[in-house]
């Protein structure tokens, strides 16, 4: 009697194991047939971004992994830079009260008359996109946001992507992790 | 010959003139005389793919070692140190991402979103612990899961919970699993990741409410052992199924149980099944009737569940941004003039018409209708089967770990006085 009960239990366990094994095997094969060898990372499409400012506040990291980067190829090296200076700035200088950037993360350097170079200090940048808005509205749009992958923890679901109003943050292949304006153009 | 060249030229011109506006800039790049060299934008590379495979190798090693320690070596000490390692590596070093629990959503999304394909490493993270559970029991929970490890370390004075309460709360993981799959399948959200209570602690950085949630879970975990694992973890549901039918499993005693009852209080998770009392086994004959009734009402449970689920689909679908926005605009059209509402202003500027948005939202809601019917039916089935299980008595003579619920942590092994 005892022996019989044991056999029955063992049989149930065996068939259950086989069923579940086949189930995860099947699921695995199905998923694997679509799987990619490369990893996914998150990136901002600079042409979709509308500089809403949420990148600075919604990232799980503080400060955000989103930083402004400068596509120098597109820069006009303007003296009157829409990304650097406040629209109502008193003068074109490096004085803090004239700067659009809340953390003074843009460094302005004189190159030659009348051109100035603008370099982002990544340590200070919080990804608020104020300069991006200024540069896109008044200049060439060479300043734009990108997710910096040495900072980004690559969450399974990007918490900024979830609230991005223009749906600009997408998963991209890790082999093409950046979408820098100029070298990366808008897909048709 | 000539006309052909003209046609070609015209096309070339057309092509050029199309290209031009895209290239044109408000302020053309200057030609520098001073020999200025333009720097390159800094684009640091993401973590290399090889490192991701290294993580898989670490997981594989940890799972193998955990299974060996539990089943062969029977060492609680070893498991404890292994779980500390996993907590440090997968938790604090890897910041809690990538994890097997969240992998459920990646697998789901692969089947429902044509533009997404799961990466091989994420798929392996999802599958490996399940395969191991099918052979060795839930050794993943014991040694490899960083969430389990951090909760296991704070168990100070575990309280035993009554069976009815455990069984009732035990429905929540199924609900959480169902919701996670529903939200991942509709492309709404990854709720397992967003509401992971411990990730804020692993990253030492999170929104305030998530940090509070993490601390609350840890404080609660001092008295209710592993609260997340037992009453929320959606991956635990899958592991439970696998472990129930596992080929091998941790045993309390290395040879024969001497019924000393020393292990009965050792399990903080109430996962030790006691021997069936003779009285209960005798009276269980009369439960055959109960069993048939309980089995017969399962379809009813499924129907009720499905009905309740479908009734809540409107509410559940509000989490989707399109549905949310469409509803907001229909109910409060005056918000269109609110310059501070970024979502609405972006939608208005995007050129997408209201009709398209409403149509998108309607389709999404339809998906939610189907999804929540299935979700509700699934929960109904779970409730029905849980109830059915309460009237099934399995004859048992020894103290044995409950294969489904046991995390293979090995505490009970230390209490057993029987030597090999």
SS (H, E, C) chain B: CHHHHHHHHHHHHHHHHHHHHHHCCCCCCCCCCCCCCCCCCCCCCCCCHHHHHHHHHHHHHHHHHHHHHHHHHCCHHHHHHHHHHHHHHHHHHCCCCCCHHHHHHHHHHHHHCCCCCCEHHHHHHHHHHHHHHHHHCCHHHHHHCHHHHHHHHCCCCCCCCCHHHHHHHCCHHHHHHHHHHHHHHCCCCCHHHHCCCCHHHHHCCCCHHHHHHHHHHHHHHCCCCCHHHHHCCHHHHHHHHHHHCCCCCCCCCCCCCCCCCHHHHCCCCCCEECCCCHHHHHHHHHHHHHHHHHHHCHHHHHHHHHHHHHHCHHHHHCCCHHHHHHHHHHHCHHHHHCCCCHHHHHHHHHCCCHHHHHHHHHHHHHHHHHHHHHHHHHHHHHHHHHHHHHCCCCCCCCCEECCCCCCCCCHHHHHCCCCC
CB-CB neighbours of B239 under 10 Å: 27
Closest CA to A129 of A178, A164, A91: A164
Angle at CA of residue B107, ends B369 and A41, nearest 5°: 110
User: In chain A, where are the structural domains located?
Assistant: 1-35, 40-176
Q: Note if the bond before A114 is cis, omega within 30 degrees.
A: yes
Lowest mean pLDDT across A173-177, B32-36, B179-183, B328-332: B32-36
Predicted pLDDT of residue A135: 93
- pLDDT band (50, 70, 90) for residue A3: low
Closest CA to B54 of B124, B102, B104: B124
Q: What percent of chain B has pLDDT over 90?
A: 71
Structure confidence by residue, pLDDT tens digits, A61-86:
889 999 999 999 899 998 899 999 98
Closest CA to A167 of B394, B198, B349, B377: B349
To which H or E segment does residue A41 belong?
Answer: strand A40-44
Give chain B's mean pLDDT: 90
CB contact under 8 A, B203 and A153: yes
Predicted pLDDT of residue B20: 43
* Residues of B in Cβ contact (< 8 Å) with A30: 111
- For residues B85, B91, B95 and B98, what is the CA-based torsion angle, rounded to 10 degrees? 100
Q: What is the mean pLDDT of residues B188-194?
A: 93
Predicted pLDDT of residue B22: 47
Predicted pLDDT of residue B96: 86
- The shortest C-alpha distance from A170 to chain B (Å) reads 10
Q: What is the mean pLDDT of residues B14-19?
A: 48
- Give Cα separations from B278 to B254, B259, B396 (angstroms): 26, 15, 10
Closest CA to B71 of B399, B394, B401: B401
Structure confidence by residue, pLDDT tens digits, B393-403:
777 888 999 99
* Residues of B in Cβ contact (< 8 Å) with A140: 25-27
CB contact under 8 A, A156 and B102: yes
CB contact under 8 A, B395 and A36: no
Q: What is the mean pLDDT of residues A85-112?
A: 88
Q: Could you give the CA distance from residue B54 to residue B62 in angstroms, rounded to a whole number?
A: 12
- By the CB < 8 Å criterion, does B346 face chain A? yes
Structure-block tokens of residue B373: 């019917």
Predicted pLDDT of residue B55: 95
To which H or E segment does residue A144 belong?
Answer: strand A143-147
Is the pLDDT at B10 greater than 60? The verdict is no
CB contact under 8 A, B110 and A35: yes
Lowest mean pLDDT across A132-146, B11-25, B225-239, B353-367: B11-25
- The shortest C-alpha distance from B276 to chain A (Å) reads 14
Quick one: angle between helices B120-136 and B100-112, nearest 10? Answer: 120
- pLDDT band (50, 70, 90) for residue B357: very high
- Rg of chain B on CA atoms, in Å: 29
Predicted pLDDT of residue A187: 61
CB contact under 8 A, A149 and B45: yes
- Please report the ipTM that was assigned to this predicted complex: 0.88
Comparing CB atoms, the residue among B22, B29, B193 nearest residue A157 is: B193
* Residues of A in Cβ contact (< 8 Å) with B189: 157, 162
Q: What is the mean pLDDT of residues B205-227?
A: 93
- pLDDT band (50, 70, 90) for residue A186: low
Lowest mean pLDDT across B79-83, B84-88, B327-331, B387-391: B387-391
Say which residue, B302 or A94, is predicted with more confidence. B302
Q: What is the mean pLDDT of residues B385-408?
A: 89
To which H or E segment does residue A8 belong?
Answer: helix A2-34
- The shortest C-alpha distance from A132 to chain B (Å) reads 15
Is the pLDDT at A100 greater than 90? The verdict is yes
- Rg of chain A on CA atoms, in Å: 26
Q: Are B83 and B407 in contact (CB under 8 A)?
A: no
Lowest mean pLDDT across A89-98, B11-20, B343-352: B11-20
> Using CB atoms and an 8 Å cut-off, which of residues 198-237 of chain B contact chain A?
203, 205-207
Structure confidence by residue, pLDDT tens digits, B279-312:
665 665 667 888 899 999 999 999 999 999 999 9
Q: Are A24 and B414 in contact (CB under 8 A)?
A: no
Comparing CB atoms, the residue among A17, A53, A75 nearest residue B247 is: A17
Structure-block tokens of residue B367: 């998906």
Comparing CB atoms, the residue among B29, B46, B245 nearest residue A174 is: B46
Q: Collapse the DSSP code of A166 into the 3-class scheme (helix H, G, I; strand E, B; otherwise coil) and give the result.
A: coil
* Residues of A in Cβ contact (< 8 Å) with B22: 185
Comparing CB atoms, the residue among B40, B49, B110 nearest residue A31 is: B110
Closest CA to B387 of B305, B270, B313, B274: B305
Predicted pLDDT of residue A49: 93
- Per the listing, tokens 């879970």 go with B217
Q: Residue B96: left (phi > 0), alpha (psi -120 to 50), or beta? A: left
CB contact under 8 A, A72 and B40: yes
CB contact under 8 A, B203 and A61: yes
- Per the listing, tokens 């292949």 go with A173
* Highest averaged pLDDT of the listed ranges B29-43, B73-87, B281-295, B389-403: B73-87
């Amino acid at each position: 009697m005892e022996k019989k009960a044991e056999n029955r239990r063992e049989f149930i366990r065996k068939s259950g194991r086989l069923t579940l094994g086949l189930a995860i095997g099947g699921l695995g094969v199905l998923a694997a047939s679509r799987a990619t060898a490369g990893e996914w990372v998150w990136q901002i499409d600079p042409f979709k971004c509308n500089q809403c400012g949420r990148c600075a506040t919604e990232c799980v990291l503080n400060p955000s992994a989103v930083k402004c980067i400068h596509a120098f190829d597109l820069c006009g090296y303007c003296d009157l830079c829409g990304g650097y200076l406040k629209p109502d700035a008193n003068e074109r200088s490096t004085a803090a009260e004239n700067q659009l950037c809340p953390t003074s993360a843009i460094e302005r350097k004189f190159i030659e008359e009348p051109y100035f170079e603008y370099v982002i200090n990544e340590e200070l940048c919080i990804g608020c996109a104020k300069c991006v808005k200024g540069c896109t509205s008044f200049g060439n749009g060479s300043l734009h946001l990108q997710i910096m992958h040495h900072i980004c923890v690559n969450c399974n679901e990007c918490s900024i992507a979830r609230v991005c109003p223009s749906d600009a943050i997408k998963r991209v292949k890790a082999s093409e992790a950046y979408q820098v304006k100029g070298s990366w153009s808008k897909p048709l | 010959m000539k006309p052909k060249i003209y046609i070609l030229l015209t096309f070339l011109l057309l092509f050029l003139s199309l290209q031009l506006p895209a290239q044109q800039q408000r302020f053309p790049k200057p030609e520098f005389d001073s020999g200025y060299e333009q720097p390159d934008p800094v684009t640091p590379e993401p973590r290399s793919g090889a490192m991701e495979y290294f993580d898989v190798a670490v997981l594989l090693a940890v799972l193998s070692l955990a299974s060996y320690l539990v089943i062969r070596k029977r060492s609680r000490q070893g498991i404890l140190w292994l779980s500390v390692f996993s907590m440090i590596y997968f938790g604090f070093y890897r910041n809690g991402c990538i994890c097997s629990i969240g992998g459920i959503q990646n697998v789901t999304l692969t089947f429902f979103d044509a533009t997404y394909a799961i990466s091989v490493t994420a798929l392996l993270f999802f599958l490996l612990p399940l395969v191991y559970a099918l052979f060795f029991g839930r050794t993943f929970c014991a040694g490899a899961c960083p969430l389990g490890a951090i909760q296991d370390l704070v168990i100070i004075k575990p309280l035993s919970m009554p069976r009815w309460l455990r069984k009732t709360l035990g429905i929540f993981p199924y609900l959480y699993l169902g919701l996670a799959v529903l939200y991942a399948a509709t492309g709404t959200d990854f709720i397992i990741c967003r509401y992971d209570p411990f990730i804020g602690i692993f990253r030492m950085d999170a929104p305030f409410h998530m940090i509070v949630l993490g601390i609350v879970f840890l404080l609660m975990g001092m008295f209710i052992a592993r609260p997340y694992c037992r009453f929320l973890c959606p991956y635990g549901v899958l592991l439970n199924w696998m472990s129930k039918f596992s080929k091998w499993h941790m045993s309390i005693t290395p040879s024969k149980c001497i019924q000393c009852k020393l292990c009965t209080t050792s399990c903080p998770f109430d996962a030790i099944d006691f021997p069936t009392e003779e009285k209960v086994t005798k009276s269980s004959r009369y439960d055959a009737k109960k069993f048939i009734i309980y089995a017969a009402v399962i379809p009813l449970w499924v129907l009720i569940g499905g009905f309740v689920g479908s009734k809540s689909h409107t509410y559940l679908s509000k989490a989707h941004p399109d549905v949310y926005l469409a509803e907001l605009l229909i109910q409060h059209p005056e918000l269109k003039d609110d310059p501070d509402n970024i979502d609405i202003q972006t939608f208005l500027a995007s050129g997408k018409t209201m009709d398209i948005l409403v149509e998108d939202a309607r389709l999404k809601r339809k998906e939610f209708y189907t999804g929540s019917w299935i979700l509700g039916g699934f929960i109904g089935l779970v409730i029905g089967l849980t109830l059915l299980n309460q009237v099934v008595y399995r004859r048992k003579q020894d103290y044995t770990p409950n294969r489904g619920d046991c995390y293979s942590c090995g505490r009970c092994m230390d209490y057993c006085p029987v030597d090999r």
